[in-house]
Amino acid sequence: MNAAAAAAALALVAAAPLSELGHTAGRRVLDRAGRALAAAAGVLLLVSMAADRPAARPAAVLAFAAAALAPRGLPCLIGAAAAVVAAVRPLSESTPGGLAVAVLVGALALALAASALQDAAEEPRAGAAWTAAAAGAVVVLTLIGVDGGRLLRWRYGLGAGAARIELPGGALVLGLALLVTLAGSLGTAVHLLTRAPEGSRAGRIGQSLLVLGASLAALGVGVVAGQGLRRSQGAIAAGAVEVATMLLAAGLLVLALIRLLAEPRPDAGVRSRWPRERMLRLAAAASMLAAATAGFESWRAEGTYATQALAEAASAALLGLVAVQPTRFGLLRRALFVGGLLSLLFRAV
């Protein structure tokens, strides 16, 4: 494991709630602390790049973008997930790299698009409680999908074949997180659908279960990472993206709960450098540039444009063009754009 990349991941994990609290409560000191941690993480990731960690390159772009261009919790969280992959996956385990520049531009587009998505999700009509319930559903779906759905049978492991290791401790914690978060999401959704008064018993129980579920999910990621590192470096490297995905899902729930439970000030909201719509347009333009760069690099490396990498980059760029259109379902279109860029990033690293 690379210590610099691991420290960067921890710094970005800490920067995400600080940035969110600074924005929610209008506390510039917290916002500046989050930016400083993100910038420090970027420097650490630059250090780790010298140790055969190509996955640290997009993570560093995400960290610096979170510090300077898109100071919100979600870009920090995505940077933390990318830093986790960089910490445990050396050069020999990475995708061979002809798409260095395209991935970096895609990472910049991802940071900008994630910030625009978070701003859109925090509009008054979206509702903090609905956002928390949706984030809980993301955690549940993520935990159901990891390790081929074995968590539904209270089993979880990393790697495959002879190199696979079973992690019964991680399976127990993650299984409990799945059940508790599912109950919390359903309880919160029922409270909202029945239009019960604010502070009703069902609403309080749902929120409490979501808080417990977020804690268990974060603990489960820590248990999996700790057990995997102790037992098999190869297995944890093989499951790096899976661990990063669980970290990202748990972090999304934490950010949603901060917005739900933190008491906002009347003048809350640390203003971004750019308005949301402009940031989204910049993200779409960056994704188009990433697709063009992927085409050039594919031709230079393989002598053809007909590559999977170019197809993925072009798909993300098309989602970006869809996201900027002034039509209905804007939040969904932004979410699909961010999902496409996430897929591009994690396939590349």
Assess whether pLDDT exceeds 90 at residue 210: yes
Q: How many CB atoms lie within 10 A of CB 328?
A: 8
Assess whether pLDDT exceeds 70 at residue 98: no
Q: What is the pLDDT of residues 3-57, one digit of tens each?
A: 888 899 999 999 999 988 888 777 788 888 999 999 999 999 888 876 667 778 8
Tell which wins on pLDDT, 300 or 324. Answer: 324
**pLDDT grade, residue 274 (50/70/90)?**
low
3-state secondary structure of 157: strand
Does residue 106 contact residue 313 with C-beta atoms inside 8 Å?
yes
Contacts of 297 (CB under 8 A, 6+ apart): 98, 99, 100, 101, 102, 309
Assess whether pLDDT exceeds 90 at residue 179: yes
The H-assigned helical ranges of 89-232 are 100-121, 128-145, 168-193, 201-231
Pairwise CA distance, residues 83 & 8, whole Å:
7
**pLDDT grade, residue 197 (50/70/90)?**
low
Average pLDDT in the chain: 84
Residue 158 is inside which H or E element, if any?
Answer: strand 157-158
**pLDDT grade, residue 266 (50/70/90)?**
low
**pLDDT grade, residue 93 (50/70/90)?**
very low
